[in-house]
Amino acid sequence: MTGRPHALTFPAPAPAPAVDVAALRTEPDYRAALNREFTNVTAENAMKWESVEPQRGVHTWADADAVVDNARRHGQQVRGHNLVWHNQLPAWLTEGVQNGTIGAAELRRILRDHITTEVRRYKGRIRAWDVVNEVIDEDGTLRKSIWLTQLGPGYIADAFRWARQADPRAKLYVNDYNLEWNSPKIEATLALIKDLRSQGVPVDGIGFQGHLGIQYDYPGDWANVMRRFADLGLEVAVTELDVRMVLPVTPEKLATQAAYYGRALTGCLSVPACKEFTVWGFTDRHSWVPGWFDGEGAACLLDESLTPKPAYTTLLTSTP
């Protein structure tokens, strides 16, 4: 999803979180909750390209290292997010493409070097990578990004192959939003992955972002969609779940929110291939939702004071 969200990863069936690096460093109660409650974490913005290489050839690994090092100290596994996206790219890259100073051949080398450098840095410390993020548009066509425009559709296969070469053991994922219900996107993503795997491209998993709102119907066929991808031999993961509501918060809205969270986890647990369950922000204190959806919020499991909501209890008691 666009913006600067925060992820919380729940590897099924045990809960786990993702990390706001600034909060990790400066908020002791946030850090304590993170390390007390969870067994897996997802890097949020810390591993995105604009964060790790804001100037060409100048890498800034401190934030990503902080996530990985904290996880290691507390016995948490790590999910890497993400390697190739059309958003949150460094200005030197997008401007170079736009003004023609970076051509297609050079862009391909830059992409290869970015993937190889980042994946090798964390080799053996990342369980799974979101290799390509949001590459299918809402109508089922490939998203028109600088990658598609300049390199053609083969950039997707290249990205997976480069990631596999850099860390042969990490699981490699396609990650996208609205896969829970959008038929054109579902069918196009299935077709893309079938085609890639027929070429021997190492695609290991599919990530469902899962940004929901209680003002909309719950995507009731979601578990069956997961099974369709699992039938291809893929791992499945819920990678960015949150459930927003139109403010103000009421007990009734919190109950509906809890039901949505519970249905999502129950669906994941009903599919043996579903390996992770990730919530995008575990506290409303740092949620991305209010900044992107006017008048909406309260999307996370804990409120701004880190008090658990009904959804928190629902997840801990959910069964297939």
Find the length of the chain. Answer: 320
Cα–Cα distance for residue pair 287/32, rounded to 1 Å: 18
What stretches of 144-201 show up as alpha helix (H) in DSSP?
146-151, 154-166, 183-198
Residue 68: C-alpha distances to residues 25, 84, 134, 319 (Å) = 13, 20, 24, 30
**From the CB of residue 124, how many other CB atoms can be counted at a distance below 10 Å?**
8
Distance CA 25, CA 97 (A): 35
Q: Which residues are catalytic?
A: 240
45, 138, 56, 148: which is closest to 96 by C-alpha?
56
Q: Are 150 and 110 in contact (CB under 8 A)?
A: no
Classify strands 274-279 and 8-10 as parallel, antiparallel or unpaired. Answer: antiparallel
